[in-house]
Amino acid sequence: MRKNIFAVSLLFLAFPALTHASNPPTLATYTVSDTTIYPSDNSGLATTTTIDISFSEQVKAKASIEITSADGTVIKNLYSSSGTVTNPAAKIWNGTNDAGTRVNDGVYTILISATSVATNLTMTDSSKTITVASVHSATDSDDGSSNSNNATTTAVVLSAGTGGPTEFLPIPTLRIITGGDRTISSNADTAFTAVVYDNKGNKRDDAIISWSFGDGMKKTGASVFHSYYDQGEYVAVVHAVTSDGGDALAEIKVMVKDASIKIVSVSARGVTLSNGSQRTLDLSLWRLSSGGQEFKIPENTEILAGHTILFPTQVIELPSANSAELLYPSGEVAASYPVGAEMKLSSASVSINTMQAASPIISGKNTKKNDEAVNAPAAATELAAAGAALPQPTSSEEKTPPVSGVFHSPWTLGLLGVIVAAGGAFILL
């Protein structure tokens, strides 16, 4: 009885191994980047496709990826491993055969095969295909003319190796959502976002989106940031292309204006900003700088036209200081406090006496409490820089009028000396 139980136990333990031994390797991952390619076309569509695979276990040498035609003929040996492998590098097919010649338009099958190192069992997979196509205008007439007002195009696909009729695949019409025209501040990084839909209402996250901002800058991506450095009106053009032939353009009018914003106070409570313009001002990704530290203003932070807001110390966590700067996302200074903080006065133009004459403007009675804004000494600086009139000396300080300029002349003094010398010589004689 015990022997029987022991035998059953061994069989039970060996069952997973026996089960594993009966199964060939499988594809753990298998992706094809583009199922339709347009080799040699300058249409902006996909001209190659990427095939990426990995196996569930280690496989022997000669694991392969082949491209076959409709009749099963291997036209391209895309990959053959030289040793054991589990996750080979992704392979790219450009629509050519082993001789480097472009294949005919048609549908081609991807054939994958591999043999397990552990079990010596072989797997094959032919579940995916790639269509090779050419792009022609659906509105092209027999004489080669085309209607530029109709942007609809059709991909022409020939049945491979069967001599069957030509098959026309419709290319989708794309619609780009951008958020429309806008007014932004110069030097400020601004987000530009595009969402693409096709004529069936499907969101096309696979679309390749590029931007031309009208100032010489181009960027690629569904969401990008851009700064305009000069005021004016620009046209930003967004271009969307999909792998199945969709192609669309959209324009955005961008009005760039100077940001009429200033720092009105810096105190223990925080930093107060004022929007002096007639439009709502977007401060996304601007920065407050004070005491050698910075606070990045989060996205979608706006100040209404003609309004003032306080950025509390508890939020910005900047060290207490009597000065601060508001920086554009590009790092340039948009506003500073005190207002005259950026003025550089030379000692040649402003004398010590002038500064002393202007200094009484800042007195103890003008100093604010800690919980109020600190007044900048801008008034004194501006007054001194402008050449403020100095107080007139009192009567006790009046100087004696100078002697006539004749007696200060060296010629006059020399003549008097000659006369005196001649008189002394005459007396001695």
d(CA 274, CA 334): 12
**Average pLDDT for 100-107:** 89
Convert 127-151 to b/e letters by CB count within 10 Å (16 or more is b).
Answer: eebbbbbbbebbeeeeeeeeeeeee
Pick left, alpha or beta for residue 163 (phi over 0 → left; psi -120 to 50 → alpha; otherwise beta). left
pLDDT for 366: 36
Alpha helices in 213-371 (DSSP H): 313-316, 352-358
Domain ranges of the chain: 21-134, 174-257, 261-342
Instruction: Answer whether residue 7 shows pLDDT above 80.
Output: no
Element (H, E) at 115: strand 106-115
Share of the chain above pLDDT 70, in %: 66
d(CA 65, CA 62): 10
CATH T-level fold of 21-134: Immunoglobulin-like (2.60.40)
pLDDT for 155: 52
Share of the chain above pLDDT 90, in %: 37
**Is pLDDT larger for residue 146 or for residue 410?**
410
Residues 147-160 pLDDT 10s: 333 344 455 454 44
What is the side-by-side order of every strand in the sheet holding 261-267? Answer: 261-267, 270-275, 308-312
Tokens encoding 146: 């085309």
Pairing relation of β-strands 223-226 and 190-193? antiparallel
Describe the chain by its helix, strand, coil percentages, rounded to 5: 15, 35, 45
Instruction: Answer whether residue 56 shows pLDDT above 70.
Output: yes
**Average pLDDT for 234-245:** 94
Instruction: Answer whether residue 50 shows pLDDT above 70.
Output: yes
d(CA 170, CA 135): 11
Q: How many residues does the chain have?
A: 429
**If you average pLDDT over each of 143-147, 160-164, 242-246, which comes out highest?**
242-246
**Average pLDDT for 292-306:** 92
Mean pLDDT of the chain: 75
Single pTM value for the model: 0.42
**If you average pLDDT over each of 9-18, 42-51, 144-153, which comes out highest?**
42-51
Class of 261-342 in CATH: mainly beta
Q: Report the DSSP beta bridge partners of residue 205.
A: none
pLDDT for 343: 37
Which of the residue ranges 137-141, 269-273, 281-285 would you say has the lowest mean pLDDT?
137-141
Class of 174-257 in CATH: mainly beta
Tokens encoding 55: 């196996």
Pairing relation of β-strands 281-282 and 324-327? unpaired
pLDDT for 6: 56
pLDDT for 254: 95
3-state SS string for 365-387 = HHCCCCCCCCCCCHHHHHHHHCC
Residues 273-285 pLDDT 10s: 999 988 999 898 8
Residues 167-207 pLDDT 10s: 566 788 999 999 889 998 888 888 899 999 988 888 999 99
Instruction: Answer whether residue 102 shows pLDDT above 60.
Output: yes
pLDDT for 341: 57
CA dihedral 15, 18, 23, 27 (to 10 degrees): 70
Q: Report the DSSP beta bridge partners of residue 257.
A: 185
**Is pLDDT larger for residue 226 or for residue 375?**
226
Domains 174-257 and 261-342 share a fold: yes
User: Contact 193/222 with Cβ under 8 angstroms?
Assistant: yes
Q: State the pLDDT confidence band at 108, using cuts at 50, 70 and 90.
A: very high
Q: State the pLDDT confidence band at 386, using cuts at 50, 70 and 90.
A: very low
Q: Report the DSSP beta bridge partners of residue 106.
A: 132
Cis omega before residue 298 (within 30°)?
no
pLDDT for 368: 35
Residues 17-28 pLDDT 10s: 444 457 888 998
Instruction: Answer whether residue 330 shows pLDDT above 50.
Output: yes
pLDDT for 106: 86
Instruction: Answer whether residue 365 shows pLDDT above 80.
Output: no
User: Contact 155/245 with Cβ under 8 angstroms?
Assistant: yes
Instruction: Answer whether residue 145 shows pLDDT above 70.
Output: no
